[in-house]
Each structure stands twice: as C-alpha cells, then as structure tokens.
Amino acid sequence: MQTALTNRLEGPSFYALAGIGALISLLGLGAALYMETSGHHVTGMNNQVFWGLPHVFAIFLIVAASGVLNVASIGTVFGKKAYKSRGPLSGLLAITMLAAGLFVIMLDLGRADRLVIAMTHVNWTSVFGWNMVLYPVFFGLVGLYVWMLMDRKMYAYSKPVGVAAFIWRLVMTTGTGSIFGFVVARQAYHSAVIAPMFIIMSFAWGLAAFLLFQSAMYKWHGAELHESIRKRLNGLLGVFIAAVFYFVLVYHLTNIYYAKQTDFEQFILLSGGIFPQLFWGGFVVLGTIVPLLLLFVPSMQRSAGAGTAAALLTIVGGLCFLYVFIIGGQAYPLDMFPGMEVKSTFFDGHIDNYVPSMPEILLSVGGFGVAFLLTLIAVRVLPFMPQDDIAKLQASGALHD
Amino acid sequence: MSQPQDKSRRNFVGTAAVAGAGLGTLALAPGLHLIQVSEANTPSQGASGKVRWGMLIDTTKCASGCDACVKACNTENGINETLKDARQGSQWIRKIDLKNPKTGQEHSLPMLCQHCAHPPCVDVCPTGASMKRADGIVLVDRHTCIGCRYCMLACPYKARSLVHLPLTNQNPEVPRGQGCVESCTFCVQRVDKGLKPACVESCPEGAMLFGDLNDPASEIAQRIANEKTTQVRGDLKLNLGVRYQGI
Amino acid sequence: MKRMLVGLAAILLLAPVFATAGAPKPNVIIENPGQCIAPTAEMRVNHMKMLNHTRDRTLRQGIRGEKASLNGCIDCHASKTTGSVLGKDGFCESCHTYAAVKVDCWQCHQPKAGYKHAEAAGVKP
C-alpha cells in the first residue's frame, strides 16, 4: 500500500482555496437575494427567454452530478479494480455537484421562498414533480454508497447499493432530458433522442469534472497519477466525447429531416448569430475536436496536462451546448401560424436577443463556487484522495483490464 | 381529442345533467327551488363540469391596429405596471398581425390563453398550481406557484407571463404578484357573476363570442357546428377553448 | 435527571411569558365592532384556517360568496385613516407583527379597501 500520500489538504493553501470558493458562493447568494427582492426585471430574462444563464449552469451541474458517479459505478458495478479507489471521490462530487445545481435552480425561482410548497404539493404528471423524488433519493443512495465504500465493515454491501445508485442516476438523467423531451410546443425540444443524449452528456461532463478535480487534488498533494491509470481515464473521456458528438449529430439530423423544423435548424446552426457561433466554435471545435486531438494524437497524448486540458474544454463545450440548446430554443419564436409573417406587441415572430445581467452571471458561477467549496471541505475532513496500489493492480492484471 | 369522441362525451354529459337535475328536483322539499337557495346569501355552486367555457374569434371582423380588447383586459385585470424592457411585461391578451408572404393576404387577431382541454401547462406544473377548473377555465393558483416557468416552456401559445417586479394596487378581485406566472383567466371573476370577459364586451366589431361549448343551443356551439373554425396549432390536438374563423 | 427535566419544562413553558412581558401589546383597532362573521375568540384562533379553505374553494372550484373572504376582511377592517389593513396600526399587521407570524398574502392581494375599479370602454362593470 502506498501510504506516502497525505490524505488531506493542509495549511494556508486550504484556507485560501476555501476563501475563494466561499466568496464565489456568497456572491451568488447575494445576487439571488437581490433578484428575489427586486423581481426578475433585474435579469436579462424576459417572457420569451425565461430560462437563462442560471438554468444553463444548473442543468450542467445536475447532469454532470449524475455522470460523475460513473467512476464509482465502473469500479463497483462493472468490477474494474483501477476505478475502485476513486469511488468515494466520485460519489462525493456527485453529491456536491447536485447540491450546487439545485442551489442555482432553486434560487432562480420566482418565489424561492416557497421551497416547502415545491416539496409538499407534488403534481405527478410533471417531470419537475418527479424531481422531488429523484433528487432526494439520489442524495440518500449516493451518501449510503460513499459510506459503504469508505467503511471497511460496510464494504461488503457496497455492490447492491452501487447498482441501485447506478440505476437511479440513469433514471434521474432520463428525467432531466425529459424536461425538454416532453415539451411539444417548441421546435428545439420534443424529441425522444434528448433523454439518451443527456445521459451520454452526463458521462462525458461528469468524467471531465472528476478528472479536473482529481488532477487538482494530485497537485495539492504533490503526487502524480500513474501513467497507465491516466491513459485509461483519458481514453474513456475521449470515447464519451465522441459519443456525445454522435448524439448531437443525430438530434440535429432528425430535426433537419422534418421539413417543418428546417427553419429552426437553419437558425440554430447557421444564421442565428451567437447560437451558431457557440455551437460550432464552443461545442464542436473547443468542446469536441480539440479535446479529441489532445486525447488521441500520440504526441499530445503524452503530455501530462493533456487530459486536464481536455477535461476543461469538455466542460466549456458542454456549457456552450446547453446555452445554444436552452436559450437558443427559446429565442427562436414559436411557430403558431406556419407560413405566415407574424408581428405583435409581444414580439411574436421576433428572435430574442437575450443578454445575461450581472446578478444572473454571479448566481450561475456561484453554483460552481458551491460545488467547489463543499468538495474542498469534504476532502479536507475525510480521506477522499484516491490511493492506488499500483504493484498490486499490476500483479493481478487489473491495471489494464 | 378527435371530434367524434368529443361529441359522445358531450352527449354523455348532457344525459348526466338531465338525470342530475331530475334527482335534484325530487330531493328538494315542495316549494323550495334551487334558485331560492342561491338567493339566500349562501355560497354559489361553483364551476360546473357540465359547462365548458369557450370563445370564438372572427378574424374577418378584427381590425388591424385596434387594441380595444387588450386595453379592456388591462383595465379589468389591473395590469398597469410599466417595465423598461417591454419583453418583461405581462400580456394576457395581445394583438397579432399575420401576413401571408405569397398572397399578401393579411389578418389581425387577438391571442390569449387558449384554455386547452388538455393543457400542457397543467401537465408540467411541479406543484399543481397550474390548474383547470371544472368548467374548462385554466388558471394559476398563485398560492402554490413557485415561479419555475416550466409552464411557459410548455405553452405553445406564449400565453403566460412571469411578473417581473413587485406590484401594488391590484384589483382585489384579481390578485396577482411578483414571481408568479399568470395568464388570461377568461375574466373568471366576471364569468362567475354571469358576465362576459372584458375583451369580448369591449370589441367594437363584435368579433369575439363567448359561451358554453357544451350547450348545443348556445350561439357559440351552433356556429362551431355549422361554420368552419380553426384551432391554432391544431396538430397538437389540445382541444382548445378558443377557436378562430377566417385564418 | 428528573429535576433537570422539570426545570427545562418550566423554562420552556415560561419562556413565552417572559418574552412577551416586555413587548408592548398591539394596538388593534376594530373599525366596525360587532359585525364580524364569528365571535372574536373563534376569529382569533381560526381566521387563517377559514381563509385558507375559502381561497382553495374559490379559486379551484369557483365557489363565490362564502362567509369568510380576504376581501371581506379588508373591506371591514381597513383603517379609516390609512384605508389599509397594513401599517403599524393596521388590523392585520399590528397583530401579526406582535405574534411574529409572517403571512404571504400581500405580494398578490391588495391590502386597501375601496379600490376604484376603472371601467374600460364598452365593458359593463
């Protein structure tokens, strides 16, 4: 067993990092309070684009929270030994990122003070209503799972709980995708491919978040990730990025195939200003092509920072995709009268030019602050640092299985 | 819902209504009629499932540039706040101008909550605040609305608005406030008194007709049965309470 | 142990007495005495229950003209000087501040009596 690694992040560097995380979180909280007392007119959101930047960040965090649990699942459910020591950190990030996502989405509500009503009055035909069960059970299952992974006495029970958590996270992300998939009103949504697309996205974004935080942890501890494990994780990220691209391709191709949707696709992919720019520049180039090159071109692959850079770009690409998907989907006008030119005092037939305001930006980024702060405190208090016994893994042949 | 099913449901409701009325008469003491009960300061019976309120809008009579219905709605419902960004203001009813680019043909029409029989906003509301009364009027219960705006995403008609700022001086009969989503109520406070919605009464051309879609003798039911009417985005099969003519 | 529990119970029971002893009693002004829909004692205990039940029946079932109604309360209890049930001596606010019970009515409901219902052109009131 390699015990040379210290388990915890010590000293002033911890307080400095925690201070930064706390500051970003508090700014987000303050911004939410300001929005709540002034009303949403202080945001860039309006009655056409009513889900703005906070929803982009919150949905990213919620989807990635589900996907980040994959690392633990690969260890427990699929029995890959090299992933087992990463289970606790993966479970921890799942909890903190979901908490952060909910922090953003709850504080953006028009009536954030009515959280209790959301939990006591549930309409079961609503996908949001299901979330009142999906999220708390996810917290509970993953909490239990992390406990079992970290407590020697309970480890024997980790497999069934791990399987349950794995299934539950698939259900949860199916729910997140269905928020949009079931919406018949809009061109951008109402597609059966959205739920599976969100699941694949959760794989990629979650793993990217995991790799990013893991690499930070190794840096704090002055440790280095064993090359063969690094290669495996990077390879997996590459596969997920490619799979996401495939699903996005199918999603757009299906829309283009339906003649009535081609105007919308023309808008979102070509003529819609910021949206095609973010789609091609942000999602396709920065979020897909560059990370794939970093991960698979041999000369780049060898550099230790390639995986981290690819992970960071995957997250940037994910946020760009969601911005185009959520905001672009609303900015494009509803097509109530096909073939007609439409004008009204309520901007029917107009493409909305949503621009996020400062409070929204602070609240959105505050979500990342909350996730970071919670994770940081947890890794300081408990031994979440992955400890690999390379010799043993190698001897059993598990390093490359 | 397809037309034949709709009719059979109406017939069923009609039969049930007759049967119910018969029973009611039997159960009451001699000389005591339902009407007297309601006259003696007791609460009204409430929205009835036998009724389905609906509206028929004749766009051939609707003049472009006229917004009497919008003004009447705002006055009746106390929508008087002004926002720097007009996109953040509430619009329960708005005028839409249509132009067919190929033929040059133009239409003008008011667009409002369509009071669907199968309202997507009610389906998606996480708390059940979006609700449909027995008489088909779709409302937001602001006591349980959390302002998540999921209903705005689900509505195919852009009929819903979020109140973007604190309000004062509301019409006591039409409570509305910051952070909740709202939309046309068919002037439920008027309908419950036996009056018509403000927009319908205000229309100088008489282009808007309000009535009970379930009552075969009503003017609206007769006209829908005998004249060509359209449901906006009929492809969604939401069975709308608002029908249009001339588009 | 037993004595400790008794002591704790005594503190818990007496706490409100001590806490309220210093606070000035609210100055509740009744503008139209003797005309309430129920005796004062019942109203004190049950007014929110009555309003909650009525509001759901009115909004969801369309039942109008029930005995209890927020607008009825406001019409009768609004201060003759300010016209409102809010404000320091307002009927609702004075007591709710004293009892430290926050209500969630006034973001949507109008706290003043005598709303001038503007009539739109061509619309019967």
Residues B19 and B88 in one domain: no
Single-letter amino acid code for the residue at A285:
V
Our count of domains for chain C comes to 1
Helix, strand counts (H, E) of chain B: 8, 9
pLDDT value at position B197? 98
Q: What percent of chain B has pLDDT over 70?
A: 83
Q: Any chain B CB within 8 A of the CB of C31?
A: no
Cβ distance A47 to B90 less than 8 Å, yes or no, reads yes
Q: How far apart (Å, rounded) are the C-alpha atoms in residues A174 and A276?
A: 26
Residues B117 and B226 in one domain: yes
| pLDDT tens digits for range A63-115 | 999 999 999 999 998 988 889 999 999 999 999 999 999 999 999 999 999 99
The count of other CB atoms within 10 Å of the CB of residue A175 is: 22
pLDDT value at A229 more than 70: yes
Segment A174-201 shows an average pLDDT of: 94
**Phi then psi for B134, rounded to 5 degrees?**
-55, -30
pLDDT value at position A196? 96
Residue B24 — pLDDT band, cuts 50, 70, 90? very low
Q: Which residues contact A338 (CB under 8 A, 6 or more apart)?
A: A260
Give the end-to-end CA distance of chain B in Å, rounded to a whole number. Answer: 21
Cβ distance B125 to A126 less than 8 Å, yes or no, reads yes
Nearest CA in chain B to C57: B46
Q: Bigger pLDDT: A369 or A1?
A: A369
Q: Which residues contact A67 (CB under 8 A, 6 or more apart)?
A: A169, A173, A201, A202, A203, A204, A205, A206, A207, A209
What 3-state DSSP class applies to A398? coil
Q: Any chain A CB within 8 A of the CB of B170?
A: no
Q: Bigger pLDDT: C22 or A180?
A: A180
Chain-centre distance of CA C4, in angstroms? 39
Distances (CA, A) of C10 to A110, C15, C17: 43, 8, 11
Q: What is the mean pLDDT of chain A?
A: 93
pLDDT value at A58 more than 90: yes
What 3-state DSSP class applies to A159? helix
Residues B149 and B70 in one domain: yes
Beta strands in A38-158 (DSSP E): none
Distances (CA, A) of B60 to B57, B92, B211, B231, B245: 9, 22, 20, 16, 7
Residues B161 and B115 in one domain: yes
pLDDT value at position A302? 82
Which tokens sit at A268? 């979102």
Residue C12 — pLDDT band, cuts 50, 70, 90? low
Q: Give the pairing of strands B130-132 and B138-140.
A: antiparallel
Query: Would you tell me which residues 196-235 of chain B have a C-beta closer than 8 angstroms to some C-beta of chain A?
Result: 232-233
Q: Which residues contact A29 (CB under 8 A, 6 or more apart)?
A: A107, A366
* DSSP-derived secondary structure for A311-370: HHHHHHHHHHHHIIIIIIHHHSPP-SSTT-EEEETT-TTPPP-----HHHHHHHHHHHHH
Residue A187 — pLDDT band, cuts 50, 70, 90? confident
pLDDT value at C6 more than 70: no
**Which structural domain range is residue B93 located in?**
50-245
Instruction: Please compute Rg for chain C using Cα positions.
Output: 20
pLDDT value at A8 more than 90: no
Name the neighbours of B, counting chains with at least 3 Cβ pairs within 8 A.
Answer: A, C
| pLDDT tens digits for range C70-92 | 999 999 999 999 999 999 889 99
Alpha carbon of A105: minimum distance to chain B alpha carbons (Å): 9
Which tokens sit at A139? 């917290």
Segment B165-191 shows an average pLDDT of: 96
pLDDT value at position A2? 43
Alpha carbon of B126: minimum distance to chain A alpha carbons (Å): 4
Give the end-to-end CA distance of chain A in Å, rounded to a whole number. Answer: 20
pLDDT value at position B67? 95
A56-83 burial, b for 16+ CB within 10 Å, e for fewer?
bbbbbbbbbbbbbbbbbbbbbbeeebbb
| pLDDT tens digits for range A289-334 | 999 999 999 988 888 789 999 999 999 999 999 999 999 999 999 9
**Least CB–CB distance from B72: residue in C63, C71, C120:** C120
pLDDT value at B88 more than 50: yes
Cα-Cα-Cα-Cα dihedral sign, residues A192, A193, A198, A199: positive
Q: Which of B122, B95, B94, B111 is nearest to B181 (CA)?
A: B122
Task: Label residue C102 exposed, middle or buried (CB < 10 Å: 0-12, 13-18, 19+).
Answer: exposed
* C-alpha triplet B114, C62, C68: angle, nearest 5°: 145
Q: What is the mean pLDDT of chain B?
A: 87
Residues B34 and B129 in one domain: no
Interface probe for C, chosen from B168, B196, B199 (most Cβ of C below 10 Å), is B168
**Least CB–CB distance from B126: residue in A36, A122, A182:** A122
Q: How far apart (Å, rounded) are the C-alpha atoms in residues B175 and A263?
A: 40
The count of other CB atoms within 10 Å of the CB of residue C49 is: 10
Alpha carbon of B133: minimum distance to chain C alpha carbons (Å): 6
**Least CB–CB distance from C71: residue in B45, B133, B172:** B172
| pLDDT tens digits for range A373-382 | 999 999 988 8
Residues B123 and B189 in one domain: yes
**Which structural domain range is residue C77 located in?**
24-111
Cβ distance B247 to A342 less than 8 Å, yes or no, reads no
Our count of domains for chain B comes to 2
Residues β-bridged to residue B138:
B132
pLDDT value at C14 more than 70: no
Q: What percent of chain A has pLDDT over 70?
A: 98
Q: Which of B121, B92, B119, B116 is nearest to B182 (CA)?
A: B92
What 3-state DSSP class applies to B43? coil
pLDDT value at position A99? 98
Under DSSP, the state recorded for A280 is I
pLDDT value at A151 more than 50: yes
Domain A17-383 has CATH 3.90.1150.10: no
Q: How far apart (Å, rounded) are the C-alpha atoms in residues C25 and C21?
A: 9
Distances (CA, A) of A65 to A69, A95, A134, A367, C19: 7, 7, 13, 12, 46
Q: Any chain C CB within 8 A of the CB of B43?
A: yes
Q: Any chain C CB within 8 A of the CB of B205?
A: no
CATH no. for residue B83?
3.30.70.20
pLDDT value at position B34? 41
pLDDT value at position C15? 58
Q: How far apart (Å, rounded) are the C-alpha atoms in residues A193 and A191?
A: 5
User: Which residue matches tokens 């009892």?
Assistant: C99
pLDDT value at position B137? 98
Alpha carbon of C120: minimum distance to chain B alpha carbons (Å): 5
- Would you say A354 and A327 are in contact if contact means Cβ atoms under 8 Å apart? yes
